Amino acid sequence: MSSLTIEQGNRLKKLAAAGSISLAITLIILKTLGVILTGSLSVLSSMIDSLADLFASSITYIAVRYSSKPASTQHRYGYGKAESLSALIQSAFVAGSGIFVMYDGIVRFFSPRPMVQVDIGIIIMVISLALTIALISFQKYVSKKTHSQAINADSQHYTVDVISNASIILTLFVVKIFEITWFDTLTAFLIAAYLLLNAYKLANEALGILLDKELDNQIRENIQKIVLGSEHAHGIHDLRTRDLGGVYMFEFHLELDGNLPLHIAHDYCDEVEANILKEYPDAQIIIHQDPAGLAENRLDNRLHKN
């Protein structure tokens, strides 16, 4: 978790989650006012997205608090995956808001509605854009420092908001200057399509962690490099990695001289574990000691056959 302690990281995540809820409420109020005053579908689509963000941010806040709990006798790996579950739920609401906007867009395509007080709508969306950029900057900082999937998922929501807010501002200018009212509906459709794509990405990443998908090859290769960098290591096999929700877990078989006394082999394992923790603080590590050259039915071999 970078240079932060677990407690510092948890405080940062809670602060980011609370800030997200506060911004969502503010944006809902602003955009609802914008919808009432302008009648814009694109502003309505952004307001609906903010409603989804409020619900998602509330889930994020609950997930962050829950995932921060220390491991217990019933959950010995900790509660970190609560954040992945939160991200999965968020993806469903992002997709739902996108589908709703598309439906309303189809209705308005056949029954166009005029837009009024466009200037006020532009001012409201510019304020929304500025507030959203400020929150995203803070969330990106927190996500980088803590590796929080829930905060990262929340940040992606608001990144979509930046894109949609900017496009809505452009749309309102187009409607104001050129009086092309159908451009409002087109913008709403594009925002909805982007919401659906973003929902897919969020769900895919969350499911990967919930289903214990292997960490990327760069991390796996680095673990092997660290292990084989020990003068006592004769090899490594059956390496398995997973993300417990911001905390990595590594399991592998360490090949050592088969004639070593058990307590010496144990010391060598501790040395390897300490080297890994230098690169990945707070990681959970399980090392199985194997005599070098032992013929056995290895997981690596079974997987390569599939």
Give tens-digit pLDDT for 184-239: 777 778 877 887 888 888 889 889 888 889 999 999 999 999 999 999 999 999 99
CA distance 91 to 55: 11
- β 248-256/284-291 pair status: parallel
% of the chain with per-residue pLDDT over 70: 92
Q: Which of 193, 210, 227 is the last residue before a domain boundary?
A: 210
CB 298 within 8 A of CB 238: yes
50-69 pLDDT tens trace: 787 787 778 777 877 777 78
Q: Which of 188, 210, 232 is the last residue before a domain boundary?
A: 210
User: Which DSSP letter does residue 70 get?
Assistant: P
The answer to the question of residue 1 being in a domain is: no
Are 82 and 167 in a shared domain?
yes
Query: What is the rounded average pLDDT of the residues 242-260?
Result: 91
Are 46 and 187 in a shared domain?
yes
Are 102 and 227 in a shared domain?
no
* pLDDT recorded at residue 1: 45
CA distance 277 to 33: 52
What's the domain count of the chain? Answer: 2
104-124 pLDDT tens trace: 777 767 766 666 677 888 888
- CATH number, domain of 286, equals 3.30.70.1350
Q: What are the structure tokens assigned to 181, written together?
A: 């009212």
pLDDT band at 286 (very low <50, low <70, confident <90, very high): very high
Are 14 and 154 in a shared domain?
yes
* pLDDT recorded at residue 10: 78
The answer to the question of residue 173 being in a domain is: yes
CB 265 within 8 A of CB 169: no
Are 60 and 115 in a shared domain?
yes
The answer to the question of residue 40 being in a domain is: yes
Which amino acid is located at 271 in the chain?
E
Are 178 and 98 in a shared domain?
yes
The answer to the question of residue 183 being in a domain is: yes
Are 28 and 175 in a shared domain?
yes
Domain hosting 291: range is 217-305
Q: Which of 185, 210, 235 is the last residue before a domain boundary?
A: 210
226-246 pLDDT tens trace: 999 999 999 999 999 999 877
* Mean pLDDT for the chain overall: 83
Are 154 and 270 in a shared domain?
no
Query: What is the rounded average pLDDT of the residues 116-142?
Result: 86
CB 71 within 8 A of CB 77: yes
- CATH number, domain of 136, equals 1.20.1510.10
